[in-house]
Amino acid sequence: MAKHSAEVLVEGLKKILISVKEGLDEKVQGKVEKLIAELQGTVPPSLEPFDPDAQKLELGFDFFKNNIFDKNREYFRELAEAQHPKFLVFACSDSRVSPSIVLNFKLGEAFIGRNIANMVPQFDQWRHTEIGSVIEYAVKELGVENILVMGHSHCGGIARLMELPDHSCSHDFIDEWVKIGLPAKQKVKEEANHLPEEEQLRLLEKESVENSMANLLTYPFVRNAVENGSITLRGGYYNFDNGTFQQWKKM
């Protein structure tokens, strides 16, 4: 019970801190933060060694809170109650291709799945539960109207797919994952093997998007929704060499 008391007290102190922060004296705020830290059994923030990465996060959150959240309270109050995104977006984990930045999605607009090489495997209820749960949640629970699979240039996952099989080195997990794109690689090799490797890679990045879009249709609840017109399947390709974005619909 003593543990619960500390936890409840900490939550209460945090709520007080939030509600009175604007007019709060810095010394008093520091004392409250110290008390919170002591109750949690940790060192207060003011006594921690300087951590530039942590500071970067704090500044980023501060900016969001002051410039976006606080200026759109009503919008965020509604959003806290429920989300109604129109898009499910699959994008690569690559640090350069966040769909929120490239396509300027605001909070609440897109349910996003990000993985290596933005791949969607075929329906497999036992093997691919992680991505299956993203699709299932977005389609069945949230009722999204669009599924966008967005590829990009210089994709490391696609480059790895092109290298396989690689007898000199293997990875525990990456190789197994990117094999999802093998049908796309086969197509590119059959029809464009004469092209320089870089061009083949660009083609494979796009063909893999097509492959993932086709795989989406192996999920019965996706296929039904596409056939009855309640979901549109879209492909996208962001090329950060020349700053272009292509998009198309699955015919």
Cα angle 86, 119, 79; round to 5: 25
CB distance 192 to 199 below 8 Å: yes
Nearer to another protein among residue 54 and residue 182 (C-beta)? 54
- The CB-of-178 to another protein minimum distance in angstroms stands at 8
Asked if residue 92 belongs to a known ligand binding site, the reply is yes
Nearer to another protein among residue 227 and residue 245 (C-beta)? 245
Contacts of 17 (CB under 8 A, 6+ apart): 24, 29, 32, 33, 36
Q: φ and ψ at 162, to 5 degrees?
A: -65, -30
DSSP annotation of 112: E
Asked if residue 169 belongs to a known ligand binding site, the reply is no
- The CB-of-167 to another protein minimum distance in angstroms stands at 18
Asked if residue 94 belongs to a known ligand binding site, the reply is yes
- The CB-of-240 to another protein minimum distance in angstroms stands at 5
Collapse the DSSP code of 247 into the 3-class scheme (helix H, G, I; strand E, B; otherwise coil) and give the result.
strand
- The CB-of-130 to another protein minimum distance in angstroms stands at 5
State the Cα–Cα distance between residues 139 and 146, nearest whole angstrom: 9
- Binding-site positions for Zn(2+) read 92, 94, 152, 155
